[in-house]
Amino acid sequence: MKVKAAVAHAPQQRLTIEQVDLEGPKAGEVLVEIKATSVCHTDAYTLSGADPEGLFPAILGHEGAGIVAEVGPEVKSLKPGDRVIPLYVPECRHCKFCLSGRTNLCQAIRKTQGQGMMPDGTSRFSVGGTRLYHYMGTSTFSNYTVVPEIALAKIREDAPLDKVCLIGCGVTTGIGAVINTAKVRVGDNVVVFGLGAVGLNVIQGARLSGANMIVGVDINPGKKAIAEKLGMTHFVNPKEVEGDLVPYLVDLTDGGADYAFECIGNVNVMRQALECCHKGWGTCVIVGVAGAGEEISTRPFQLVTGRTWKGTAFGGVKGRTELPKIVDWYMDGKIILDDFITQVMPIEEINTAFELMEEGKAIRSVLTF
């Protein structure tokens, strides 16, 4: 079938809206009509050329929501008409990782997903006979996409797809990082570096967990108001701190953060996030994605003296099992989501959405088809 998609032909080039060919779903695959998708910083990171797994030409996008249009052979858990959120971390429920009870990182299709392919090693997208790569197994910057059954979370019918698309990445990652990965407890002091959708949802998760101090750190003062609405108690702009940021934060938090979250993707900030943690027990959770070839460093003494560095993908959430509950939280008013949507625009304006994110003027732009 012919579909409308935003195609990324090469790193750092504007996306082009094109009519693209999409093959129907093969065994274990599902054709999804994407109703809305938002732009996450990770899409911008891959488009920048910094992603070692970045492949071009590709159809990017991984924060979407839609309706099942057709199911391929052997698909059992979904039917046409079902509302779904595509999952860049699938949940097969059979692999060693899924059965471990220790991680959400299902590896059933990770290899082919990283190669921009469906699980059988081929692509469903092409244009003018040229193959296009899938992206993160989701490719939501297209009005129709093919996604493996194990990478679709079925959600309730009354959920507004133009809102809950954010649960496909930013909201879930931030809240999950706090609840699943860090396991923040009542009274903990939390420091959050980077107040984009991910960091703001760390703040929201910390508030839900009963954190005491929730310190937000961002070089963009425009993020202060919404962060405060979500539960931030103190705002720190590193540009306004005299002297080193780390001792300033350690002082502010009476000895250091119980938990610090890096939600930027900057390896220098990742070091600051570890070193502002409390001696003896503070844990730093890496959420941000750093560019190809970049590495983190610190004095081993920071770890010897009881600080921990850990990381999280998709907030440690098992998508098929847990996303319906996160959608319920939104529908029941337990979590805020609408405030993250700073712009709604047609897919034709997708390049504007990327520009607004880079300029710090958008938290999430939602694109409709």
Ligand X SMILES: NC(=O)C1=CN([C@@H]2O[C@H](COP(=O)(O)OP(=O)(O)OC[C@H]3O[C@@H](n4cnc5c(N)ncnc54)[C@H](O)[C@@H]3O)[C@@H](O)[C@H]2O)C=CC1
- From the list Zn ion, ligand LAXINWYW, ligand X, none, pick the one residue 137 interacts with, judged by a Cβ distance below 5 to 8 Å according to partner type: none
CA atoms of 9 and 31, how far apart (whole Å): 23
Judged by CB under 6 A, how many residues of this single chain contact ligand X? 33
**If you write DSSP's letter for every residue of 60-128 in order, what string do you get?**
---EEEEEEEEE-TT--S--TT-EEEE-SS---SSSHHHHHSS-S---TTHHHHHTT--TTS--SEEET
Is 364 tagged catalytic?
Answer: yes
Backbone phi and psi for residue 245, each to the nearest 5 degrees, phi listed first = -70, -40
CA atoms of 54 and 7, how far apart (whole Å): 13
Q: Does 35 bind ligand X (CB under 6 A)?
A: no
> 308 is written with which tokens?
């921990």
CA atoms of 230 and 207, how far apart (whole Å): 8
Contact region with ligand X (CB under 6 A), list: 13-21, 103-111, 287-295, 338-346:
287-295
Q: Residue 125 or residue 135: which is nearer to ligand X going by CB?
A: 135
- From the list Zn ion, ligand LAXINWYW, ligand X, none, pick the one residue 320 interacts with, judged by a Cβ distance below 5 to 8 Å according to partner type: none
Q: Residue 66 or residue 199: which is nearer to ligand X going by CB?
A: 199
Partners of 340 in beta bridges: none
Q: What is the 3-state secondary structure (H, E, C) of 204-225?
A: HHHHHCCCCCEEEECCCHHHHH
Q: Does 217 bind ligand X (CB under 6 A)?
A: yes
Q: Does 90 bind ligand X (CB under 6 A)?
A: no
Q: Does 190 bind ligand LAXINWYW (CB under 6 A)?
A: no
Q: Does 313 bind ligand X (CB under 6 A)?
A: yes
Is 106 tagged catalytic?
Answer: yes
Is 92 tagged catalytic?
Answer: yes
> 271 is written with which tokens?
């070091």
Is 165 tagged catalytic?
Answer: no
H or E element that contains 16: strand 16-22
Q: Residue 58 or residue 71: which is nearer to ligand X going by CB?
A: 58
Is 42 tagged catalytic?
Answer: yes
Question: Which of these is catalytic: 29, 62, 172, 307?
Answer: 62
CA max distance for the chain? 63
Q: Does 231 bind ligand X (CB under 6 A)?
A: no
Q: What is the nearest approach in angstroms of Zn ion to the Cβ of residue 77?
A: 14
Q: What is the nearest approach in angstroms of ligand X to the Cβ of residue 256?
A: 18
Q: What is the 3-state secondary structure (H, E, C) of 140-179?
A: CCECEEEEEHHHEEEECCCCCHHHHHHHHCHHHHHHHHHH
Q: What is the nearest approach in angstroms of Zn ion to the Cβ of residue 336?
A: 18
In this structure, is the dihedral angle defined by the CA atoms of residues 193, 194, 195 and 199, taken in order, positive or negative?
Answer: negative
Q: Residue 13 or residue 237: which is nearer to ligand X going by CB?
A: 237
**Using CB under 6 A, which of 89, 197, 269, 326 touches ligand LAXINWYW?**
89
8 A C-beta contact, residue 77 and residue 148: no
Is 95 tagged catalytic?
Answer: yes
Question: Which of these is catalytic: 29, 98, 276, 322?
Answer: 98
Question: Which of these is catalytic: 37, 42, 172, 181?
Answer: 42
Angle between helices 267-275 and 245-252 (to 10 degrees): 40
- Please report, for the chain, how many H helices and E strands are present, in that order: 12, 17
Q: What is the nearest approach in angstroms of ligand LAXINWYW to the Cβ of residue 230?
A: 20
Is 294 tagged catalytic?
Answer: no
Q: Does 173 bind ligand X (CB under 6 A)?
A: yes
Catalytic residues: 40-42, 62-63, 92, 95, 98, 106, 110, 169, 364
Residues binding ligand LAXINWYW (CB under 6 A) = 40, 42, 51-53, 88-89, 105, 110, 169, 289, 313-314
